[in-house]
Amino acid sequence: MRGPQNATVLDRPSSPGGEFRVRRAGTNGWTCLPGYAGAAHDEPGCFDQVFLQFIKDSMAGLTPNVQRIGISYMYGSKWVPNKSHAMGSSAEFRVGPHIMIIGLDQKTMQTLNHDGSNGEPYVNSLPGHPELFLVNPIREWDDAQAVSTIGAVTR
Domain boundaries, the chain: 4-154
Q: Give the model confidence (pLDDT) of 49-58 as tens digits.
A: 999 999 888 8
β-strand 132-137 against 21-24: which pairing, if any? unpaired
Nearest partner of 32 among 66, 1, 68, 69, judged by Cα: 1
Q: Would you say 31 and 7 are in contact if contact means Cβ atoms under 8 Å apart?
A: yes
Residue 90 and residue 59: Cα distance in Å, rounded? 30
Q: pLDDT band at residue 2, thresholds of 50, 70 and 90?
A: low
| Cβ atoms within 10 Å of 9's Cβ, excluding its own | 18
β-strand 45-47 against 70-74: which pairing, if any? antiparallel
Torsion angle, alpha carbons of 107, 80, 93, 53, to 10: 80
Q: Is the pLDDT of residue 155 over 50?
A: no
Q: Please, what is the average pLDDT of the chain?
A: 78
Q: Give the model confidence (pLDDT) of 21-36 as tens digits.
A: 899 999 999 999 887 6
